[in-house]
Amino acid sequence: MKPQDPIAIKELFDSVSKNYDFLNDLFSLGFHRIWKRQLLTWLKPASGEKWIDLCCGTGDLSLPLARLVRPFGSVIGVDFSRAQINCAHKRSLKEPWLPISWLNEDVLKAGLPSSTFDGVVMAYGLRNLSSPEAGLKEIHRLLKPGARAGVLDFNHTIEGSKNSFFQKFYLRNFVVPIASKMGLKEEYAYLEESLKKFPVGLIQEQIAINVGFQEANYKTLAGGQMGALLLRA
């Protein structure tokens, strides 16, 4: 599968939607929930604020975010996979008091109003957009002046480093074989390929500054396997 092909990416996430949460828990040993909570801790969403979760998937960030901004704030979860949005909506029905809505759109073409949101989050989505620069530019457009954003994703490790060796070994010998047994070999083999063109942390910071952010700070997680780009408009 060609990385950053919007149609192929959409089909990928539609196809894995039924097993997506289970496999995320399995492959990360449940740590992805800790990394997402850490992202929210750094961003400090507050009651009454308006936030948006781009590439929201099944709502893993949208739901805890909505709990933090209630009762007077709001959250919009956006994803172009109809199957993922359906899963997110079903999850939110268990907490009908949460101020959350769902939008099934391409995050780069959703047409949401500029300078509207107090914060933006994106988990494991930037790497899959047509370009990271386009994604960061859209995040900047959506934010109010001085507002903040956080982007969580795999860290593009330096080729030849111990982190790079571990990342490849883990993907090739644990993630892909298990996914293959569930008929999802191509979908998860894509992970390693998608990282090849994904910018390293320092370049992500520079791209963010170039598109207009006042502050950009990249932090690594999970011993350098994951990374979070923290931004201020």
Domain boundaries, the chain: 6-232
Give the Å distances, CA to CA, from 156 to 18, 63, 113, 133, 230. 27, 27, 32, 16, 16
Q: Could you tell me how many residues make up the chain?
A: 233
The domain over range 6-232 is classified in CATH as 3.40.190.10: no
The values of phi and psi at residue 52, to 5°, are: -135, 135
* Per-residue pLDDT tens listing for the chain (233 residues): 455 556 666 666 666 667 677 777 777 778 888 999 999 999 999 999 999 999 999 999 999 999 999 999 999 999 999 999 999 999 999 999 999 999 999 999 999 999 999 999 999 999 989 899 999 999 999 999 999 999 999 998 877 788 888 888 878 887 778 778 777 777 677 777 878 889 999 999 999 999 999 999 999 998 889 999 999 99
User: For position 1, what pLDDT does the model report?
Assistant: 47
Count CA atoms within 13 Å of residue 203 on its CB side: 10
Q: Which residue has the tokens 């030849």?
A: 160
120, β-bridge pairs? 52, 149
User: For position 100, what pLDDT does the model report?
Assistant: 97
Q: Which residue has the tokens 């949401």?
A: 112
User: For position 50, what pLDDT does the model report?
Assistant: 98
Q: For residue 137, which of 128, 123, 149 has the smallest C-alpha distance?
A: 149
Q: For residue 150, which of 227, 46, 72 has the smallest C-alpha distance?
A: 227
Count CA atoms within 13 Å of residue 190 on its CB side: 18
Q: For residue 112, which of 51, 62, 57, 56 has the smallest C-alpha distance?
A: 51
User: For position 172, what pLDDT does the model report?
Assistant: 86
| Burial of 116 (C-beta count, 10 Å sphere; 0-12/13-18/19+) | middle
User: Most distant CA pair in the chain: distance in Å?
Assistant: 49
Pull the structure tokens for residue 170: 């883990």
User: For position 31, what pLDDT does the model report?
Assistant: 84
User: For position 170, what pLDDT does the model report?
Assistant: 78
pTM for the model stands at 0.88
Q: What are the residues whose beta carbons fall under 8 Å from the beta carbon of 72, sequence distance 6 or more?
A: 47, 48, 99
Cis status, amide bond into 71, omega within 30 of 0:
yes
How far is residue 86 CA from its own chain's centroid?
Answer: 17
